[in-house]
Amino acid sequence: MFKNFEHCSVPSKECLAEANQKIAHSTPYTLPWFNLKLLQIESLISIKEFTAAEKAIAAIKIENTPPLFSSYLTIYKAKVLIVSERRSQALKLIEEAKLNLIEINNSFYAPLRSIRIANLLLDLKRYDESLSILLSLERRFKNSKDDHFKLELYGNLGHLYRQTGDHQQSLAAYLSALPYAKALRHNQQIMVIYGHIGHAYIYLDNPQNAELMFKKALDYANLDGHNISVTTSRLHLANFYFNQKNKQKTKKVMSLINPSYLNDYQVNTWDQLTTYISEK
């Protein structure tokens, strides 16, 4: 999906800017337009612009779209619903999208599409099926030079192991994903991976390494320069200090956060930390 773009290899704010520019000069509901809209919406979700993503999805007449496009659109709609805590609606869409993608993949196989299917199975808590697909892909494409594929593969393995409580394996998978994010020079994805590594270290009772990883995540968020990315990294670091019962450092990081850049799912954490630093 990303081969014909000059400034991006995976969804990002750079991809979003390029997609927006080209959409303005493309004919709606043509093949190039479908490709651009997928990149636009996935980039919005990647940089956590969920409200904008929801609006972009709602503006598309899904009945006028081809099966592959509509399947991905259904996935993106489900992701937005999950973030806005409408999980029961999202799971119905995920099941629908999974069946459609399996049918398409049986006819036109693509490794990245298989990762999508594994990710949907993960959302459905069908962990064994998801793991089977991901490990099969790891074996089959162990010599692949596709950095995007390897980033998605090990990132999803990290998510799966985390959800099943195997935090040592989760850490190993996220550490495996990191070099591929760096090879792509994708600061936002590097930030995300460092954040996941930080959380893995928390689960493994290693707060020293966790703090270092959250600080690295913030460094790359600042390099990325996207307000929501920076806000997310600062909130993770502040929450880490809160859990370490370090009010001074929590307060210092919180003072740098602009709450207007928070997403809905982050508001509870913000409120909890605000109450904590205001207590005498």
pLDDT at 229: 93
> Rounded to whole angstroms, how far apart are CA atoms 59 and 54?
9
3-state secondary structure at position 110:
coil
Vertex 122 angle, CA 195 and 181, to 5°: 35
**CATH domain 1-108 topology:** 1.25.40
Chain segment 180-235, per-residue pLDDT in tens: 999 999 899 999 999 999 999 999 999 999 999 999 999 999 999 999 999 999 99
Whole-prediction pTM: 0.85
Domain borders along the chain are 1-108
Q: Which residues contact 18 (CB under 8 A, 6 or more apart)?
A: 5, 6, 7, 8
Which two structure tokens, joined as six digits, stand for 273? Answer: 């930390």
Give residue for tokens 């920076």: 230
pLDDT at 6 over 50: no
Helix extents (H) in the chain: 13-23, 31-46, 50-58, 67-83, 87-107, 111-123, 127-140, 147-163, 167-183, 187-203, 207-224, 227-243, 247-254, 267-278
